[in-house]
């Protein structure tokens, strides 16, 4: 494998002569399997080689001893190679560029090794103090995985806050601590997101009291914000703005081909980010021109006619942008390793193109285009029932908010009918 990337025999001999030559070569094989570029491999191998030399000089003799030297070597590397960095962010990037390949190699070489920032994330939040909570959500409450992921998200933030205030035991929780967390965490959360946070905390606190992990049921101290139905206007954009957004996508690149297909799926079918990220090759019926969206939020599946424009964009991506992989998901990361695109990344791409096109919208994201699709159907005078079924709403009341404001009608009222009142 080394000969594939290094043509000079003396370079190959030097790498293999290193006392960690075996782990380095296995790491190169892994990078190749994950479709990392040749340039990336050329950049990372010298880092690993110098790390091996440094660890040997410091007394390391077995791979199991290597983790001890990751931190000191990273600091030394940053001092030598970060002299021209003018910001703390640039220095942080230099540190990550050297630390990440070392930790990846050590994960392959040392069973059970995680490295900085990995092991904690792979555990369920607060699992050391409330180990049965997520099992409770799944088995007793019957929550789906997508709902449980919201609990993970908010409880990771809660766990980080407890670490920050040095509160080591959940039995020490109190209303002031909970209030401080919500105040610290809410930031730019919308009212609905803040309601979700409070709901998660309330369920968690009730579980702690049920399991006698806290003396009192503190769920009553969590007050959710008042949300009034139809109090907000959906954050949609005009169809001209949709065209403007699509025009800034560079469809000559694999990334652009993927993103263009994703954007068209949103504006054509009003899909959710999770539904786009979860699409597989099996969901597209090319013979019948059908697009199937399984396991929607409302608990059913939907089959759409496959638009020719959407179909052509997907085909272009599959032929010229999608990596070669046995995974059946449609959309993948462009950078190695080629893993399926996550729903948060999908939503982030929508926000990116809205900002790039200069379109200002509150909390830009995938739901902006979903709202746009629904609003266009409302303006075309489809029935609320038809629209709700089309986009997978649970009830007609979810669709009703789009009838709250008729922009064209308000515009006519504002302009008047030309009469002058004397």
Question: Which positions are catalytic?
Answer: 272, 297, 367, 370, 393, 402
Q: How far apart are CA 80 and CA 1, in angstroms?
A: 30
The CA-atom distances, in angstroms, between 408 and each of 8, 411, 413, 422 are 71, 5, 9, 27
Under 8 Å between Cβ of 209 and 219: yes
The CA-atom distances, in angstroms, between 9 and each of 13, 16, 47 are 6, 11, 19
Looking at the DSSP bridge assignments, the partners of residue 303 are 292
Q: How far apart are CA 290 and CA 281, in angstroms?
A: 12
For residue 277, give the nearest of 141, 399, 149 by alpha carbon. Answer: 149
Pull the structure tokens for residue 9. Answer: 């025999």
For residue 338, give the nearest of 35, 21, 32 by alpha carbon. Answer: 35
Under 8 Å between Cβ of 263 and 246: yes
Q: How far apart are CA 263 and CA 246, in angstroms?
A: 8
Under 8 Å between Cβ of 186 and 194: yes
Q: How far apart are CA 347 and CA 332, in angstroms?
A: 14
For residue 130, give the nearest of 219, 216, 213, 222 by alpha carbon. Answer: 213
Under 8 Å between Cβ of 222 and 202: yes
Q: How far apart are CA 304 and CA 295, in angstroms?
A: 14
Secondary structure of the chain: what % helix, strand, coil (to 5)?
A: 60, 5, 35
Q: How far apart are CA 16 and CA 174, in angstroms?
A: 58
Assess whether the previous peptide bond of 179 is cis (omega < 30° from 0): no
Exposure letters 106-144 (e unless 16+ CB within 10 A, then b): bbebbeebbbeeeeeeeebbbeeebeebbebbeeeeebe
Q: How far apart are CA 99 and CA 113, in angstroms?
A: 14
Residue with tokens 């410091």: 58
């Amino acid at each position: 494998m080394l000969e594939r990337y290094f043509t000079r025999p003396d370079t190959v001999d030097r790498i293999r002569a290193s006392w960690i030559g075996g782990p380095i070569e296995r790491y190169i094989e892994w990078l190749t399997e994950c479709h990392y570029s040749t340039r990336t491999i050329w950049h990372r191998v010298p880092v690993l080689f110098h790390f091996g030399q440094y660890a040997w000089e410091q007394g390391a003799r077995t791979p199991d001893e290597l983790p001890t030297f990751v931190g000191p070597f990273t600091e030394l590397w940053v001092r030598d190679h970060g002299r021209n960095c003018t910001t703390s962010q640039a220095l942080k990037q230099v540190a990550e560029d050297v630390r990440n390949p070392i930790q990846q190699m050590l994960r392959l070489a040392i069973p059970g090794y995680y490295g900085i920032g990995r092991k904690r994330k792979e555990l369920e939040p607060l699992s050391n103090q409330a180990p049965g909570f997520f099992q409770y959500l799944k088995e007793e409450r019957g929550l789906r995985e997508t709902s449980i992921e919201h609990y993970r998200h908010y409880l990771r933030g809660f766990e980080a806050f407890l670490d920050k205030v040095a509160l080591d035991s959940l039995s020490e929780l109190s209303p002031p601590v909970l209030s401080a967390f919500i105040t610290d965490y809410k930031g730019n959360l919308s009212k609905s997101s803040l309601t979700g946070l409070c709901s998660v905390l309330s369920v968690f606190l009730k579980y702690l009291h049920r399991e006698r992990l806290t003396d009192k049921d503190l769920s009553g101290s969590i007050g959710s914000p008042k949300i009034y139905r139809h109090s907000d206007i959906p954050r949609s954009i005009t169809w001209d703005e949709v065209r403007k957004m699509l025009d800034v996508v560079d469809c000559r690149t694999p990334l652009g081909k993927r993103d263009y297909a994703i954007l068209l799926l949103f504006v054509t079918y009003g899909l959710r980010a999770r539904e786009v990220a979860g699409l597989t090759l099996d969901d597209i019926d090319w013979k019948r021109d059908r697009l199937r969206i399984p396991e929607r939020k409302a608990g059913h599946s939907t089959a759409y006619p496959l638009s020719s424009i959407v179909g052509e964009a997907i085909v272009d991506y599959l032929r010229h942008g999608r990596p070669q992989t046995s995974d059946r998901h449609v959309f993948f990361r462009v950078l190695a390793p080629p893993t399926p695109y996550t729903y948060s990344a999908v939503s982030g791409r929508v926000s990116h193109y809205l900002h790039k096109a200069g379109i200002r919208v509150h909390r830009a994201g995938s739901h902006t285009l979903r709202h746009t699709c629904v609003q266009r159907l409302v303006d075309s005078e489809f029935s609320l029932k038809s629209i709700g079924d089309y986009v997978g709403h649970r009830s007609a009341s979810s669709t009703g908010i789009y009838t709250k404001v008729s922009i064209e009608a308000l515009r006519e009222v504002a302009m008047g009918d030309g009469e002058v009142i004397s």
